[in-house]
Amino acid sequence: MAGWLCFFLLGASLAGLLLPGASVFLPRDQAHSVLQRVRRANSFLEEVKKGNLERECLEEACSYEEAREVFEDTEKTNEFWNIYKDGDQCESLPCLNQGTCKDGLGEYTCTCLEGFEGKNCELPTRELCSLDNGGCDQFCREERSAVLCSCASGYDLGDDGKSCISAEPFPCGKLTRGRGRRSAAHGSGEAPEAGVPEQEQYYRGDLGPTESSLHLLGLNGTEPSPKEDESHLVRIVGGRDCEDGECPWQALLVNEENEGFCGGTILSEFCVLTAAHCLLQAKRFTVRVGDRNTEKEEGNEMAHEVEVTVKHSRFVKDTYDFDIAVLRLKTPIKFRRNVAPACLPEKDWAEATLLTQKTGVVSGFGRTHERGRLSSTLKMLEVPYVDRNTCKLSSSFTITSNMFCAGYDAQPEDACQGDSGGPHVTRFRDTYFITGIVSWGEGCARKGKYGVYTKVTNFLKWIDKSMKAGLGAGARGSRAPSEAPPCPSQPLPLPPLSTGALSRPPSLP
C-alpha cells in the first residue's frame, strides 16, 4: 500500500513540471531580488560615482588617484597610501621617549618631546646656546654643534666646563652688598677695613644726561646760553636710591670747581668708561669712586687724577654718534665694598643674550625730574629695552646703529639731566655686564620719548684696544702708555664736593 502511495506522489510532481509556463529556474527579476551582485567595470556612469574604498582598493588593486577620489584629502590619502603600499612602519613603535610616529613610504618620522632628539628620539637634546645659554654661567658659543663656555676677565672656567669661578675678592659684575674688604664674612672675626663703614646705603633714582657746554646737535656750533632748555640731556627720573653695594661700578667726573658733571663706569683698576661728549665739558677733571652721597663723606670715597683720555676719533658732536671715551687713571682704583668693576661681555653673546633681556639698569646723580635739582644721592632705575623700530619712530633726531633706546612710553621714569656717561648694565644670572652709556634724550620721562644710549657691544674691540694702549687716535694727554709711571701707592686726597648743583646742559632747539 505504501509503495503505491509513493509512486502516486512522484507522478503528480512530475506532471506539475510539465504544465505550461513551469520552469526549474526563477525569472531574472525574481532572481536579482534574492541575490544582488555589484557590477564592476563598465557599469553605467561608474566614473561619476563617489569613490568607495572597498570597491576601489580592497576588492581590487587601485592607483593613488583612485584612493585620492575616496578620501578627497591629500593628507588622509597619504596616510592610507603609505600603509597600503608597504605596510605600517610605525607598527613596531620605533619612536622612544614618548615620541610620536608618522608613517611614510619605506620610512617613518618621529616627532620628539622637548629634551630629546635623533631618528628615534633616543638622544637627549644637545645643550646649544639657544637653550638655557647652553648651561653656561656666562659666555656661550657654538663650534661644530657643540657648546663652548667661557668667562669674563677675572673668572676661570670651572672643572664642569660651564661655571665661572673667581678667586678675586671683588670680581667684575658682582654686587658688593654686605661685604667688607677681602670679602670678610659677618661674624668671621675678621675686622672690616678701616674707614669702610660696615653698612653703606646706596640710592636708586632717575638718570639724566649731565650738563654739556655744547648744543646736543650742535646746529649753530656755538655755546648755548645757560637759559636755554636742557631737556635733551639724560638724567634719572622716578627711580630709587642705590642700596648698599648695588651700583659699585658707578664713577663720577668732577670738574675744577669741584662739581660733578658726568658719570662713568669702572672697567678695571685703571680704566673708566664714559661718554665722549663729557670730555667737551671740562678741561681738567678728576674721577671719584665710592660716592653714594655728594653732600656727605662716609670714608669710602676716593678720587683719582686722569692720565689720558681716549675719545673715539669718529665722535660727532652734532648727532652724538660714537659717543664713547675711555679714561686712564694715574692711580689704581682700590676695589672694596661699593667699588668694583662691571664686566665687559663678548659681542656675539651679548647681542644674542643681553640685548634680548627685558630690562637693564641705569644709575647716576642726575636730576629727579626734568627741571628739578640734581640728586645728591646715587640713584638707579630699571628700564626696559625698546624695540629698534619703535625707538627710531619716537625721535625727531637720528638714531644711528651705535645707539639704542631704553625706558618707558608713558610711565614717569627715565634717565634725566646730570648722568651722561654713566652706566647702563644688564644682569645675566647674578652678574652685571656693561651694555650702554647714558648719552642723550628729548626731555625727561616725556610721553612717547625714551632715553638714548651708546651701544657698547659695537665698541668692545675699541674699548679693549684703548684700555691696553692708554693712548690712541683722538686721545688727549702728554704721556704715552709706555711712559706711564708705575702704580702710585696712594690716590688723591678727597676734597668735599661743592654743594651747588651739577652743571646744567644746554637743550635742543
Q: What is the mean pLDDT of residues 330-339?
A: 94
pLDDT of residue 442: 81
| Catalytic site residue from 241, 321, 323, 419 | 323
Q: How far is 439 from 454, CA to CA, in rounded Å?
A: 6
**H/E element, 142:** strand 139-143
- The pTM (predicted TM-score) of the whole model is 0.63
Confidence of residue 13 (pLDDT cuts 50, 70, 90): low
The three cell numbers locating residue 93? 613603535
Mean model confidence pLDDT for the chain:
75
**Higher pLDDT residue, 106 or 40?**
106
**Higher pLDDT residue, 479 or 27?**
27
Residue 67 to residues 38, 119, 157, 370, 373, Cα–Cα distance (Å): 19, 30, 61, 75, 82
- For residue 214, pLDDT over 80 is answered with no
Residues 423 and 437 sit within 8 Å (Cβ to Cβ)? yes
Q: How far is 446 from 441, CA to CA, in rounded Å?
A: 10
Q: Which of 279, 344, 335, 329 is nearest to 470 (CA)?
A: 329
- The reply to whether 137 belongs to the active site is no
pLDDT of residue 271: 98
Q: Which of 337, 330, 324 is nearest to 434 (CA)?
A: 324
Range list of H helices, 339-486: 347-349, 388-394, 460-469
pLDDT of residue 296: 82
- For residue 186, pLDDT over 60 is answered with no
Confidence of residue 26 (pLDDT cuts 50, 70, 90): low
Express as a percent the part of the chain with pLDDT over 90: 42
- For residue 309, pLDDT over 90 is answered with yes
- For residue 258, pLDDT over 60 is answered with yes
pLDDT in tens, 343-381: 999 999 999 999 999 999 999 987 555 444 567 889 999
Q: Which of 103, 100, 146 is nearest to 121 (CA)?
A: 100
Crossing angle of helices 74-86 and 64-71, rounded to 10°: 140
- For residue 79, pLDDT over 80 is answered with no
**Higher pLDDT residue, 473 or 384?**
384
Q: What is the mean pLDDT of residues 240-259?
A: 92
Q: Which of 40, 71, 444 is nearest to 235 (CA)?
A: 444
Q: How far is 404 from 355, CA to CA, in rounded Å?
A: 10
Q: How far is 268 from 487, CA to CA, in rounded Å?
A: 13
- The reply to whether 420 belongs to the active site is yes
Residue length of the chain: 509
| Catalytic site residue from 215, 277, 304, 369 | 277
67-76, 213-222, 297-306, 431-440 — most confident range: 431-440
Q: What is the mean pLDDT of residues 90-111?
A: 86
- The reply to whether 277 belongs to the active site is yes
| Catalytic site residue from 376, 420, 503, 507 | 420
The three cell numbers locating residue 467? 684700555
Going along the chain from its start, the domains and CATH numbers come out as 62-123 (2.10.25.10), 132-165 (2.10.25.10), 197-509 (2.40.10.10)
Provide the strand spans (E) within 144-205. Answer: 146-150, 156-157, 164-165
Q: What angle do CA 363, 369, 372 make, to 5 degrees?
A: 115
- For residue 492, pLDDT over 90 is answered with no
Confidence of residue 32 (pLDDT cuts 50, 70, 90): low
pLDDT of residue 221: 30
pLDDT of residue 478: 36
Express as a percent the part of the chain with pLDDT over 70: 63
pLDDT of residue 473: 40
pLDDT of residue 410: 67
Q: Which of 82-96, 150-164, 334-348 has the lowest mean pLDDT?
A: 82-96
- For residue 261, pLDDT over 70 is answered with yes
Q: Are strands 359-364 and 325-329 parallel, antiparallel or unpaired?
A: unpaired
Residues 176 and 170 sit within 8 Å (Cβ to Cβ)? yes
